[in-house]
Structure 1
C-alpha cells in the first residue's frame, strides 16, 4: 500500500487524529500527551487489542489501555507468566515450557522438569523475575510460518511448544514474542517492555501437578502459580485477603467450633454435630416462616425416583453422570439431584384452576449429586445437600409480578443474614438446551422485562442459563470482599410441556403454566459454609449455637451461677454454665475462643445484689446489670430477625 496514505484514528470521545502514513499506538499516545504516553500499555484497534509497537495502516476506531484500566489486569498477568518462564529457563535450562495463561487473580505456567520445584526454588525464581523486570527488556512481536515455527522450537528442545504449534492450521501465521534471550509462542498483546510489570506487583504462590493438556493419560507437569496486580497496593490487599480467608476457612473453624466433620465412609456428605445442627435448624426455621409469610406451601417429595421421570424431564440425558442410581425389581431408580420434576408431579394431582395460581410449592429438598473426589471442598462442594427449593406455577402475565415479589423477599432475607451488597447476573441460553429458539426468545424477554420493571441492575452472563430456561443469579459479597453466587430465579416454559402440566383457564380450556424455579440460600450446606467464613465463626446472637455462658469467679458463686443458668434457659436462650475450678481470665479466654457471644460473670457482689457482669465477644469492656434486664436484653438480641 502507499506508505504516505493518511491514517485517521477516531478516539472514544469522537475526536479524530490524522497521521501521514502508518502510525503506532505509542506514537498516538505521545501525540495525545506525555502523561498518556507514560501510562499506556496497549492500544485497542477496532475492538482488538494490539501492542503499542504495531503499526496501524488503515483508518480505525481506537482507544488506549493504561495500567489503571480493568482490562490491564489480564495483560499484566500474561506478561508475568512470560517473565516467570524466562526466569525458569535462565535458572534451569533443561526445563521445557508448555502453557502459561492469565487466570483469575493471577497466572500460572506449566513446566516439564524431572526434579520437583521446591519452596527455595520459588524464591530464586521470583528473585530472578524481579531482575528481568529491572533489565527493562523490550518485548518484540514477530510472525513465522507454522512449519518453520515447529522446526524452530524443536531445535530449541521445546517439544511441547512444537506440538502446540503443529496442531494449528498450516495457513495461520504463528505469532512469537521475544524478550531478552527468551522467545515464546503467544497471540499477545504484551507490555512494551518488562519494566512495565513492576518488580513489586507480583508474587509466586505455590506449585501443583497438572497433566499435559489436562489429559490424565499424558505426562504430569509442574504448574507454578503466581498472582499479579496493577500496583504494590493491590498486591498487598490481595495477600491480606488470602490471610483473612485462611483464618476464616470454614473447614478449620468447623473443627474448632465442633460444628461438623467429613469422613471417607461418606465422602462429600457432612456429619452435623450438635453445634452445627443448631445453626442449621435455626436457619431452616427462619426460612420456613419467611416462605409461609410469602404464600408458599411446603411439601416433601421422594428422594429415590424411577429413571422414567428423569428421562421425561430431560435430566437423565443432561445429568446422568452426576446421578446415584440403584436397581430393584428390574427397574432403575435414581437419588434425585434436584427437586423440580417431583414438584410438577404434586402440581399435576387433581384439576388446577387459574384461580389456584400462582401456586408456590416449597421444599427443603434433600438432593444427591456425584462430584469427583478432587472437586469436593468442605461444605462448599458436597455430594449430599439440602436446597431451599421452590417452584412457582403461574400464568405468563404474572411473571413480572412474581419476580418482583421474589426479589424483594430475597433481598430482605440476605439483609437479615448480614449481606447488604447483592449483584445480579442475567444468564441466557446455553449451547446445550431443551426447547426451541422461539421458546427461549420468549422466556428471555419475559425475564428481562421483569428485571427491568423491578429496577435491578444486572450484568450479562452469556450462555450460563439452565438447560430449560434463562435465569437470574444473585451474588453476595462477604466481609472480605469475596463474591458468592447463591440465589437463582429461572423462567421455564420447557418442563411444564415435557411433564404435561396444565391448568384450566378462565376460558375453560387447558393451558400450560409457566414454572419459575427459585432458591435463595442455594444449599443449606454451602450457605452455612459462607456464613462461617463471613462471620469468621462469630455468629450473630440469633444463630450462635451457645448464646451465653454463665460462670463464677470462685466456687462460692456456684449456686447463683446455676440459678442464673436456669433463668436463661427459661427465657428460651441457648445457655451453658462453667463451674470449673479455673481462674476467671482463663475461662473467659476459653469461651471467647469458642466464639460465645456473651459471658455472664458472677462474683460475690453480683450474687448478693441479683446482678450480673456481662462481657461481649470481641470487647474488653464489661457492664454490670440487673439480672432481669441483662436477660431481657439478650432475649431481644437473640430473637430471629423476622420475629422482632
Structure 2
C-alpha cells in the first residue's frame, strides 16, 4: 500500500501518469502529466537559450563501434539494451554524449568557434534490474536534459562557473532553497591514464573553488571518463536528491581523436564538459511532487484555474469567463457538472488546481468573479482586474 505522500499516489490522484507491467520502468504520460513535463522542458529551454546552447537531436540506436570508442561497451554494457540485426551489434543509447561528439567532429571548428555548446532532451534506455525500479525515481526509459560543452582547456573554469551560478536561481524557482555540492573523484573502473585524471580532477576542483563552492568529497563516485560536481537538493522531508551535474572529460576527446584548429593552425585537443540541470526529467518531476505534496507552484500546475458556475443560469457567463482566461494564456477548465458546488470545489483542490473561480448571477451582473485560493481564502474581484492579476501570479519565473 503506497503512502498518500508517495509521488506514485500523487500522480494517480492528480491524473498525471501511470506505470504498468507490460512496460516495466517506462511511463505512460496522461494529458495533465504531459503538460507538466512540457513545462519543465520549456523552463530548461529558456536556460539553454540564455547559456548559448544549440539544441540537437541524435539517433536512439548506434553501432557497437561508437560504443567501443566511448568506452561504454567495455564499462557499461551490462546496463545497455543490445540489438543484433544479423550482421552487427547495436545498442539503444543510455547517454547522448557519443552522438554529440559525432556532430562536433563534423563541425571541425577553429578556436574562434569555441566553446561549442550542444544540448538535447535525450530519451535514453538503461537495463536496470526489475528489483531496482521505483516509480519515476528509477526507470529503464527516461529523458536527460543533456548538454555538452566543447572548449579550450583554459575556458573550462569560466564554463563551470557560469553553469554553477545559474543553478541556484533555477532550483529556487521550483521551491528548492537548500543546494549542496559534492565532488566525485575517479572510480576504480575507469578509462584514461592516471595523469589525465590528475589533470581533470585538479582543474574541476579549482573551478569549484574559484566559484566559492564548499564541496562534499565523494571518493570513487565519478563517471568512468571523468570527475564531476553533483548538485544535491534537500526536499521538505529533509531527504537529499542528486540532480544537476557537470563533469570534466579529457578521456572521450582523446578516444574519439577530437580536435580544433588553434590560432597558429595547429590541431589541439578540446576539453569536454557533460552537464545536466535535472539529470532525469522524470526523477525531478517525482521529486517535485513529493516536495510540494501535489500542490505545485502556480506556474507549474497543469491546470491553474477551474471555473465553476454556481447555478444553471450562470453557465453562459462561466463559459465566457473561461474563454477570457484562456485567451490570456492561462491553463483553465470549466466544471459545469450536475454536482453540488461543495463537491466540485473539493475535487478541484484534490486535483491540485490552485484557483477556483466561482460565478453566479451576482457575479454576472457585476462583471466579476469569486476567486477562491487553495488555502481557502475567497474574494470578489472585477473580471478585468482578476485577469490581469492572475496573468501576473501564474507567469513562468
1:634 matched residue in structure 2:
390
Aligned partners of 2:289, 2:11: CA distance in 1, in Å?
A: 8
**CA shift digits 1:514-563 (9 cap, x unpaired):** 00010110011101001111111111111111110001211121111111
Task: Report if the CA contact (8 A) 1:248-1:534 is conserved.
Answer: no
1:422 equivalent in alignment to 2:179: yes
Structure 1 stretches lacking a partner, 5+ long: 1-244
Are 2:136 and 1:373 equivalent residues in the alignment? no
Whether the aligned pair in 1 keeps the contact of 2:161 and 2:211 (CA below 8 Å) is: yes
1:301 aligns with 2:54: no
The answer on whether the counterparts of 2:82 and 2:91 sit within 8 Å (CA) in structure 1 is yes
- Does the CA contact (< 8 Å) of 2:75 and 2:190 recur in 1? no
Equivalent in the alignment of 1:608 = 365
* Correspondence 1:621 to 2:377: yes
> What is the CA distance between 1:350 and its match in structure 2?
3.5
- Specify the alignment match of 1:555 in structure 2: 312
2:259: which partner in 1? 502
SS of the equivalent of 1:266 reads coil
TM-score relative to the length of structure 1? 0.61
Correspondence for 1:399 among 156, 159, 168: 156
Q: Does 2:149 correspond to 1:388?
A: no
Matched with 2:197 is 440
Q: Distance in 1 between matches of 2:108 and 2:377?
A: 64
1:306 CA displacement:
0.4
Q: Secondary structure at the match of 2:150?
A: strand
Question: Does 1:328 pair with 2:72?
Answer: no
Q: Tell me if the contact between 1:554 and 1:581 (Cα under 8 Å) persists in the aligned partners.
A: no
Deviation at residue 620 of structure 1 after TM alignment: 2.3
1:395-544 superposed matches below 5 A: 395-544=152-301
1:223-265 residue CA offsets vs partner (Å, 9 max, x unmatched): xxxxxxxxxxxxxxxxxxxxxx933210011111111111121
What's the offset of the Cα at 1:312? Answer: 1.0
Query: Aligned pairs, how many?
Result: 396
Deviations, residues 71-121 of structure 1 (Å, cap 9, x unaligned): xxxxxxxxxxxxxxxxxxxxxxxxxxxxxxxxxxxxxxxxxxxxxxxxxxx
Which residue in 2 is equivalent to 1:201?
none
Matches of 1:532 and 1:494, distance apart in 2:
37
Q: How far 1:583 moved relative to its partner?
A: 2.2
How do residues 84-163 of structure 1 correspond to structure 2 at under 5 angstroms?
A: none
Note the 1:334-373 alignment, pairs <5 A.
334-373=91-130
**How many angstroms apart in 1 are the aligned matches of 2:347 and 2:93?**
43
Distance 1:447 1:363 in 2: 23
1:571 and 2:328 matched: yes
In the alignment, the residues of structure 2 paired with residue 412 and residue 627 of structure 1 have an alpha-carbon distance, to the nearest angstrom, of 33
Determine the C-alpha separation between the residues in 1 that align with 2:183 and 2:318: 55
What's the secondary structure of 1:390's corresponding residue? strand
Whole-angstrom distance in 1 between the partners of 2:137 and 2:194: 34
Q: Secondary structure at the match of 1:346?
A: helix
Correspondent of 1:277 among 34, 43, 46: 34
| TM-superposition CA deviations, 1:455-505 (whole Å, max 9, x none) | 011110111011111100100011221110001111100000001110001
**How far apart are the structure 1 equivalents of 2:344 and 2:4?**
23
Larger radius of gyration: 1
Give the superposition deviation at 1:302.
Answer: 0.3
RMSD over aligned CA atoms reads 1.1
Higher RCO (C-alpha 8 Å, min separation 6)? 2
Report the counterpart of residue 546 of structure 1 in structure 2: 303
Q: Is the 8 A contact 1:387 1:523 kept in 2?
A: yes
Q: Deviations over 1:332-357 (max 9, x none)?
A: 11100001111111100032101110
Distance of 1:552 and 1:340 partners within structure 2: 53
Which blocks of at least 5 consecutive residues in structure 2 are unaligned? Answer: none
Aligned-partner Cα distance in 2 for 1:260–1:580: 24
How many angstroms does 1:329 deviate by?
4.8
> Which segment is superposed worse, 469-478 or 580-589?
580-589
| Contact 1:473–1:487, Cα closer than 8 Å, also in 2 | yes
Shift of 1:325: 1.5
Separation of aligned partners in 2, 1:445 and 1:290: 28
C-alpha distance in 2 between matches for 1:329 and 1:567: 59
Contact map agreement 2:62 2:93 (CA 8 A) in 1: yes
Give me the whole-angstrom Cα distance separating, in 2, the residues matched to 1:296 and 1:492.
Answer: 18
SS in 1 for 2:22: helix
| 321, 328, 337: which one aligns with 1:580 | 337
SS at match of 2:389: helix
Paired with 1:357 and 1:419, the residues of 2 have a C-alpha distance of 33
The C-alpha deviation readout for 1:368-426, integer Å capped at 9, x for no partner, is 00111111000000000110000101111111100110001222211111111100001
Shift of 1:603: 2.1
